Chains A and B, each alone.
Chain A
Amino acid sequence: NFVLTQPHSVSGSLGKAVTITCTRNGGSIAYNHVQWYQLRPGGSPTTLIYQDSLRPLGVPDRFSGSVGRSSNSASLTITGLKAEDEGNYYCQSYDGTNHGWVFGGGTELTVL
Chain B
Amino acid sequence: QVQLVESGGGVVQPQRSLRLSCTASGFAFRNFVMNWVRQAPGKGLEWLAIISSDQSHKYYADSVRGRFTVSRDNSKNTLYLQMNNVRSEDTGVYYCARDFQPNIEVIWGRGTQVIVSS
- Residues of chain A at the chain B interface (Cβ within 8 Å): 33, 35, 37, 39, 44-47, 50-51, 54, 56, 88, 90, 92, 98-106
Contact = CB atoms under 8 A, between A and B. Distances in A.
B95 interface: yes
A44 B111 contact: yes
Contact of A100 (B50, B93, B100, B110): B50
Contact of A44 (B59, B106, B110): B110
A92 B47 CA distance: 10
Nearest to B106: A47
Q: Rank and list the top 7 A-B pairs by shortest CB-CB distance, nearest first.
A: A101-B47, A99-B59, A106-B44, A50-B105, A56-B105, A45-B108, A103-B45
User: What interface size band does chain B fall in?
Assistant: 20 to 34
B109 interface: yes
Nearest to A95: B47
A101 B34 CA distance: 11
A101 B60 CA distance: 10
